Amino acid sequence: MNDALVRRTLGDSADPLVVDLGYGNRPHTTFELADRLLSVRRDRRVVGLEIDPERVVEGGNGVSFARGGFELSGLRPVFVRAFNVLRQYPEESVGPAWALMQSGLAPGGLILEGTCDELGRRCAWVLLDAIRPLSLTLAWDPFDVETPSDIAERLPKALIHRNVPGEPIHALLAAVDRAWAIAAPHGSFGPRVRWRASLQLLRAQGVPVQPQRRRIRDNVLTVPWDLVAPAQSPR
């Protein structure tokens, strides 16, 4: 977990219970999440939840599985990951689903809700606390996209139908593509260097881009939710 707020929340929690909601046909992503969280809390507990009882499997090594949905099976986690869950729901279901998950959080808890492709090369997610959405993050393999707006196909359900002229998310992606084009001379040093130059241009233009904690493999853009919230927000 590279988000500083997520790491701090898990690190400070008296009970580092994490829920991986909707892990799908195979639970390997839940085990991968549990392994990654060991660097934050050795005593983390991870529960994978699936609405389909036939997908509930045996756990181990601090990981368990149970039946559950947005109500979080009555658990009180400090962190919830819900990836590729809401994409199969209509847009009007986003707000109620967020609210239901938020109501089940432990004090100070966070939710990471978003989508990614099958190989994890293109991802987008919203980070929420118990009250409101906080930020939008777009992350992609530097060698998998031609322009940053290619990530639009993986926008969270709250935004994917809003990528049209006049909507804030469309304006942001257009600005990012312009910065990417201007930074083209840096491309000879690779797409990661070009992306860092693009981020500098965006900051110079006043786009409130969240600084990265350290250099990472993927190209990442994080902005406040208020910058991209739809005119009629799910909240």
Co-location of 164 and 95 in the same domain: no
Residues 122 and 176: their CA atoms lie apart, in Å, by 16
Same domain, 110 and 155: no
CATH of the domain at 20: 3.40.50.150
Choose one of 50, 81, 116: the last residue of a domain.
Answer: 116
pLDDT at residue 19 tops 70: yes
| Per-residue pLDDT, 114 | 96
User: Do 46 and 86 belong to one domain?
Assistant: yes
Residue where one domain finishes, among candidates 116, 151, 177: 116
What pLDDT shows up at residue 215? 65
**Which residues are CB-contacts of 189 (< 8 A; sequence separation ≥ 6)?**
none
Is the model's pLDDT at 195 over the cut of 80?
A: yes
**111 and 6 part of one domain:** yes
Q: Give the long-range contacts of residues 185-191, CB within 8 A, separation 24 or more.
A: 190/142, 191/142, 191/143, 191/219
Total structural domains within the chain: 2
Residue 116 confidence (pLDDT): 93
Q: Do residue 79 and residue 150 come from a single domain?
A: no
| 148 in the same domain as 204 | yes
In a domain, 152, yes or no: yes
131 in any annotated domain: no
Is the pLDDT assigned to residue 233 strictly greater than 80? no
Residue 104 is predicted with a pLDDT of: 98
**3 pLDDT more than 90:** no
14 alpha-carbon distance from chain centroid? 24
Distance, CA of 115 to CA of 86 (rounded, Å): 8
DSSP code for 223: E
Q: What pLDDT sits at residue 234?
A: 59
149 within domain boundaries = yes
- Specify the range with the lowest mean pLDDT, choosing from 17-21, 105-109, 214-218: 214-218
Is a pLDDT exceeding 90 seen at residue 231?
Answer: no
Q: 110 φ, ψ to 5°? A: -135, 155
Which pLDDT score is estimated for 155?
Answer: 97
For residues 86 and 146, state if they share a domain: no
Single-letter amino acid code for the residue at 235: R
How many residues can be counted in the chain? Answer: 235
Query: The domain containing residue 85 runs over which residues?
Result: 1-116
Query: Residue 135: inside a domain, yes or no?
Result: no
**Tokens describing residue 77:** 């986690």
pLDDT in tens, 74-119: 999 999 999 999 998 999 999 999 999 999 999 999 999 999 988 8
**Does 22 reside within a domain?**
yes
DSSP track, 114-142: EEE-TTSSEEEEEEE-SSSEEEEEEEE-T
Q: Answer whether residue 27 is part of any domain.
A: yes
pLDDT band for 120, please (50, 70, 90 cuts).
confident
Residue 119, pLDDT score: 80
What is the average pLDDT value for the chain, to the nearest integer?
93
Residues 108 and 161 in one domain: no
User: Longest C-alpha distance within the chain, in Å?
Assistant: 53
CA of residue 50 relative to chain centroid, distance: 19
Last residue of a domain, one of 48, 81, 116: 116
Query: Which contacts qualify for 23-27: CB closer than 8 Å, 24 or more apart?
Result: 23/48, 23/49, 23/50, 23/55, 23/65, 24/50, 24/55, 24/84, 25/55, 27/55, 27/57, 27/65
